[in-house]
């Protein structure tokens, strides 16, 4: 992996772990529950993808790096929840980056494993939103991605750029960076401009 | 697959997707959430089965056909929810057929992968009821199959006919059609005659 | 497997099935729902582990023995719920043993499949607590392991003893029995002495 991509991927894992830990703190869990939730939020999406494409053991099981990152993020939030909350704006921004990196990298991995392009895009999206869905289910909430402002859609848009790039023979890094940029852009518009999809009447 | 079986399988996917989409509309999700729920309801059971028998990537990941069917069913329900509700009786009937087809085909696939017969029947049932369970969990309800009138039991009965047929050396199509018929019959009796299992005091 | 270990493993499956069945009875499910919940509680942890380490089909799918045990435990609780409740103290003790055996055996299996030691311990813990988490999610509760007194921690402690033993070259049975003993001890202290972890303020 390109060092910059690896850095962004680690950022994503860290930020997703923090979002899981924050939920655990809000639910008044003990430190262990907080760490479990941090870890599950950070790695479930990637594990789901890997199990479905046959990349077993999944990346997050074959190596302990994501575990270490998730524990670090989780402990920080547990110990410094006040500070974490004051950082909520930068966290939203890094969360958007994590979303985009997971979607783009997940799509590329699925394509590398020979998955057809529509399903590769879906698996990229699953990589990006799966962890948050598991976090929500474990804390008894309807997954926010099913309700909320553009979130899964941003991940899917980034994933689709990657498959379009692969189909059109565009250089992989260019497609990946474009997909990431589109995902972050859509997410920021959703947060600051209130962009939304139509809901059922 | 026999064209008629393929057609019934597509019917099942479509109807299961509609049941997921209907839940999404009731929960006032946006169009994207409705489609995600439609897709998840249609394919989770089969994916669970395939991951457990080692058929990776699962059928619904290796091909995009079920995705297309689920999106079509989901969009129809999102756009024409009123019409869909007026069709509730035919939908219940097609749902019973989907249940039976998924149970029968799932059991046969597990047997083809060398799974012992009690677990093949269980996996057939999982194929049939797994999607609905995931739909219910994602929308914060105790899965109706754990509570309601004969539903999982009908799927299991159909699955058991298939394993009995395999054990007794009965021609596969005969066993499959008998299993499907038994499942649909039990489901219809549960709906129209109120057949139930004993509950705990 | 050593006959004593096999016996303890069966005890764990049986006790975990009973805890699932008891939840089903409390939720007033019918007999089928009770049995499904018993089965799911008993085997989900091991299935999750096996799918993640690539041991497919998972132990509980490749053989029907755990199915039979879970059905026996589930039927007993459904039929004799009053008697089961009066046994709640011995059940807590056997549950602690099941927890320890699953954690220890799950860790060893992950190590046997070449998983690195931190993740092997995590997978051992997942083997032990996964079933209860699925039971809780299916009945709409925040998994008790995320909240409650030392439970997952006891499983993790037992798992860590196994990986430490492997790293230090200690004889496998000695490490396994030590891990089991530590897990049961911590669990008993949590129950009878109220040992807890710090919670977030």
**Whose CA is closest to C123, among C82, C172, C174, C162?**
C162
Q: Which residues lie across from C199 on neighbouring strands?
A: A30
| pLDDT for residue A200 is more than 70 | no
pLDDT digits (tens, 9 = 90+) for B9-37: 888 899 999 999 999 999 889 899 999 99
- The low-confidence residues of chain C, meaning pLDDT below 50, are none
Q: Chain C partners of A78 at a C-beta cutoff of 8 Å?
A: 200
Give the ipTM of the model, two decimals please.
0.88
Mean pLDDT value of segment B128-134: 95
| Cβ separation B67–A119 shorter than 8 A | yes
Indicate the pLDDT class of residue B196, thresholds 50, 70 and 90. Answer: confident
Q: What angle do CA C123, A133, A111 make, to 5 degrees?
A: 80
pLDDT surpassing 80 at residue B199: no
pLDDT at A201: 56
Give CA–CA dist B81/B23, Å, rounded.
Answer: 11
Give the pLDDT confidence score for residue A58 in this predicted structure. Answer: 95
Range of weakest confidence among A62-71, B62-71, B82-91, C180-189? B82-91
DSSP state of A201: -
What's residue B201's pLDDT? 56
Length of chain A counted residue by residue:
201
A57, C53 Cβ separation under 8 angstroms? yes
Note whether B186 contacts C: Cβ–Cβ < 8 A: no
Q: What is the CA radius of gyration of chain C?
A: 16
pLDDT digits (tens, 9 = 90+) for C147-199: 766 899 999 999 999 999 999 999 999 999 999 999 999 999 998 888 887 77
Decide if B162 contacts B121 (C-beta within 8 A): yes
Instruction: Indicate the residue of C64, C78, C138 with minimum beta-carbon distance to B200.
Output: C78
Q: What is the DSSP string of chain B?
A: --HHHHHHHHHHHHHHHHHHHHHHHHTT-BHHHHHHHHHHHHHHHHHHHHHHHT--S-HHHH-SHHHHHHHHHHHHHHH-HHHHHHTHHHHHHHHHHHHHHHHHHHHHHHHHTT--HHHHHHHHHHHHHHHHHHHHHHTT---HHHHSSSSHHHHHHHHHHHHHHHHHT--HHHHHHHHHHHHHHHHHHHHHH---PPBP-
Chain B residue numbers touching C41 (CB-CB < 8 A): none
The length of chain C is 201
* Span A69-73, average pLDDT: 96
A36–C152 CB contact, under 8 Å: yes
Angstrom distance (rounded) from CA A42 to CA A132: 8
* Average pLDDT score, chain B: 91
Residue whose C-alpha is closest to residue B129's, from B9, B59, B48, B188? B48
CA distance to partner chain C, nearest, from residue B53 (Å): 5
For chain A, report the end-to-end CA distance as a whole number of angstroms.
45
A-C contacts at Cβ under 8 angstroms: 81
Give the pLDDT of residue C5: 74
Residues of C in contact with B122 (CB under 8 A): 39, 67
Chains with ≥3 CB–CB distances under 8 Å to A: B, C
Of A85-89, B93-97, B116-120, C97-101, give the lowest mean pLDDT range.
A85-89
Q: How far apart are CA A124 and CA A130, in angstroms?
A: 10
Rg (CA), chain B: 16
Give the tokens for residue C182. Answer: 């530590």
* Across B148-169, average pLDDT: 92
- pLDDT band of residue A157 (cuts 50, 70, 90) is very high
Å from C71 to nearest chain B CA? 12
Through-space distance between the first and last CA atoms of chain C, rounded to whole angstroms: 45
pLDDT, residue B200, reads 60
Q: What is the pLDDT of residue A1?
A: 63
Q: What would the mean pLDDT of A155-182 be, rounded to a whole number? A: 95
In which band, very low, low, confident or very high, does the pLDDT at A115 lie, cut at 50, 70 and 90? very high
Question: Which has the closest alpha carbon to C107: C185, C163, C165?
Answer: C163
């Amino acid at each position: 992996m390109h060092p910059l991509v690896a850095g962004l991927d680690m950022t994503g894992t860290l930020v997703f772990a923090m979002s899981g830990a924050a939920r655990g703190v809000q639910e008044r869990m003990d430190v262990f529950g907080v760490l479990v939730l941090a870890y599950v939020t950070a790695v479930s999406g990637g594990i789901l993808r890997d199990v479905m494409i046959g990349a077993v053991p999944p990346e997050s099981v074959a190596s302990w790096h994501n575990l270490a990152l998730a524990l670090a993020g989780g402990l920080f939030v547990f110990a410094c929840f006040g500070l974490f909350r004051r950082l909520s704006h930068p966290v939203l921004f890094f969360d958007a980056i994590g979303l985009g990196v997971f979607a783009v990298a997940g799509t590329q991995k699925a394509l590398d494993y020979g998955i057809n392009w529509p399903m590769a895009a879906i698996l990229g999206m699953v990589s990006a939103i799966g962890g948050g869905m598991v976090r929500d289910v474990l804390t008894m909430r309807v997954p926010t991605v099913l309700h909320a402002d553009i979130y899964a859609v941003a991940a899917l848009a980034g994933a689709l750029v990657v498959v379009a790039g692969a189909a059109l023979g565009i250089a992989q890094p260019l497609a990946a960076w474009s997909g990431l940029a589109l995902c972050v852009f859509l997410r920021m518009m959703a947060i600051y401009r209130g962009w939304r999809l139509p809901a059922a009447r």
